[in-house]
């Protein structure tokens, strides 16, 4: 993560999980993003799903899932450290 | 990958994802983009979406960024060193033939001529520039109540090369990201073919709005996404040949293209056609 002052902040999946933050791996994303998308990746436009799938593979993307976290701002402060 | 960044904007003909030069060039602000992955502005239109969706997203985006200047995504502020229009830098950039045509675009009263010049150049970067700037050119013509046929030749050039797999040379890549070189080349070729389809989708949308038979072709980007579940260029090529091209040709054959081109020519001879001037298309036009 890059902030407005140009600093790079980093975390690990293991650290995020300790704060009950979910992790959606690259493999899981790739499996969900086919056709119109499956489950939480369902989307009206299949082309946009395909573009997103390409980005996951091309740039090695994966996601932290804050949906079940009570205070995402607090959790973010806790898990990220300046590199 | 920041999708709202200058590298993914219609008005930057020099970059798209992994493809392109180390710097971009904004044809609206007429500036070299030094960190195109980290900057944006309120005029941004996403290259990776078809025209209607790109405009929808842009409505939200422009509430957060000024149209007047190129700003950093993270803070919305203009940083002087993010861009350049110094003569030295422009002269240096122009040593690249694609960049030369891109910087000419709109500046010298030569929009369509610049696009024709790009069409004649070999290579993936020239095609990227033609498609990217071409989308802006036609959209502007349409927003000035122009006909969809203002993009007829650009459409035809894209249709003719539709089924070709572009060669992505190592010097065309800005980065390999998280993948191996050969895979990055394949994914980049895929993204360029999708840009062709996006351009063609735009054209069919405009044609549909003006009740032309070409507008009856259903979104090729969506058809491709439903038909292909892996990024396999051979499978894509087969699909383009067997599914996409016949649908387009059934609505716009060579004979019909020649007929429409003759009509356009006759209208221009009679000065009756609505033509887009460079100032319209590159500099001063509102983006509706």
- Please give, rounded to a whole number of angstroms, the shortest distance from the CA of A18 to a CA of chain B: 26
Query: What ipTM does the predicted assembly reach?
Result: 0.91
User: What local confidence, expressed as pLDDT, does residue B285 receive?
Assistant: 36
The predicted structure's pLDDT at residue B283: 37
Q: What is the pLDDT of residue B286?
A: 33
Across the strands, what pairs with A64?
A23
What is the least distance, in Å, from the CA of A39 to any CA of chain B?
Answer: 17
Q: pLDDT tens digit string along B153-186?
A: 999 999 999 999 999 999 999 999 889 999 999 9
Residues of B in contact with A55 (CB under 8 A): 1
Contacts of B50 in chain A (CB under 8 A): 47
Chain A partners of B7 at a C-beta cutoff of 8 Å?
Answer: none
Q: How far is A45 from chain B (nearest CA, A)?
A: 7
**pLDDT grade, residue A6 (50/70/90)?**
low
Q: Is A44 on the interface with B (CB under 8 A)?
A: no
Cα(B101)–Cα(B158) distance, rounded to whole angstroms? 18
CB nearest A59 (choices: B1, B38, B50):
B1
Convert the pLDDT of each residue in A12-68 to its tens digit.
999 999 999 999 999 999 999 999 999 989 999 999 999 999 999 999 999 999 998
pTM given for the model: 0.92
pLDDT at B111: 83
Q: State the nearest Cα–Cα gap between A5 and chain B, in angstroms.
A: 9
State pLDDT tens for residues B207-221.
999 999 999 999 999
**Residue among B75, B179, B228 minimizing CB distance to A57:** B179
pLDDT at position B160, please?
96
Digitized pLDDT (tens) for each residue of chain B, 288 residues in all: 899 999 999 999 999 999 999 999 999 999 999 999 999 999 999 999 999 999 999 999 999 999 999 999 999 999 999 999 999 999 999 999 999 999 999 677 668 889 999 999 999 999 999 999 999 999 999 999 999 999 999 999 999 999 999 999 999 999 998 899 999 999 999 999 999 999 999 999 999 999 999 999 999 999 999 999 999 999 999 999 999 999 999 999 999 999 999 998 888 777 544 456 444 443 333 333
Please tell me if residue A3 touches chain B, with a CB cutoff of 8 Å.
yes
- Count CB pairs under 8 A between chains A and B: 57
Q: Is A4 on the interface with B (CB under 8 A)?
A: yes
B185 and chain A in contact, CB less than 8 A: no
B57 Cα to chain A: minimum distance (Å): 13
Contacts of B195 in chain A (CB under 8 A): none
Of A45, A48, A60, the CB nearest to B178: A60
């Amino acid at each position: 993560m890059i902030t407005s002052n140009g600093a790079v902040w980093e975390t690990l999946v293991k650290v995020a999980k300790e704060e009950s933050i979910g992790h959606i791996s690259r493999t899981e994303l790739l499996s969900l993003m086919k056709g119109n998308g499956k489950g939480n990746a369902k989307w009206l436009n299949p082309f946009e799903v395909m573009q997103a799938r390409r980005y996951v593979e091309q740039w090695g993307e994966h996601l932290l899932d804050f949906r079940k976290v009570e205070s995402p701002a607090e959790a973010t402060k806790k898990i990220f450290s300046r590199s | 990958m920041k999708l709202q960044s200058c590298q993914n904007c219609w008005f930057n003909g020099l970059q798209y994802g992994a493809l392109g030069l180390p710097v971009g060039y904004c044809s609206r602000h007429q500036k070299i983009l030094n960190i195109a992955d980290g900057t944006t502005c309120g005029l941004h239109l996403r290259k990776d979406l078809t025209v209607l969706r790109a405009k929808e997203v842009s409505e939200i985006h422009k509430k957060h960024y000024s149209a007047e200047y190129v700003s950093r995504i993270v803070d919305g502020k203009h940083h002087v060193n993010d861009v350049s229009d110094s003569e030295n830098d422009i002269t240096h950039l122009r040593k690249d033939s694609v960049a030369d045509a891109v910087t000419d675009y709109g500046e010298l009263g030569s929009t369509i001529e610049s696009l024709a010049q790009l069409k004649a150049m070999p290579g993936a970067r020239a095609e990227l520039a033609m498609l990217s700037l071409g989308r802006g050119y036609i959209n502007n013509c349409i927003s000035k109540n122009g006909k969809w046929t203002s993009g007829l030749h650009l459409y035809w050039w894209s249709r003719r090369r539709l089924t070709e797999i572009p060669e992505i040379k190592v010097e065309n890549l800005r980065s390999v990201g998280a993948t191996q070189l050969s895979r990055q080349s394949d994914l980049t070729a895929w993204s360029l073919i999708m840009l062709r389809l996006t351009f063609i989708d735009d054209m069919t949308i405009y044609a549909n709005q003006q009740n032309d038979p070409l507008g009856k072709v259903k979104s090729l980007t969506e058809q491709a996404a439903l038909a292909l579940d892996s990024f396999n260029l051979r499978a894509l090529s087969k699909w383009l040949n067997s599914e996409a091209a016949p649908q387009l040709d059934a609505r716009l054959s060579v004979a019909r293209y020649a007929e429409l081109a003759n009509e356009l020519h006759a209208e221009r001879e009679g000065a009756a056609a609505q033509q887009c001037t460079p100032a319209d298309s590159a500099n001063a036009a509102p983006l509706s």
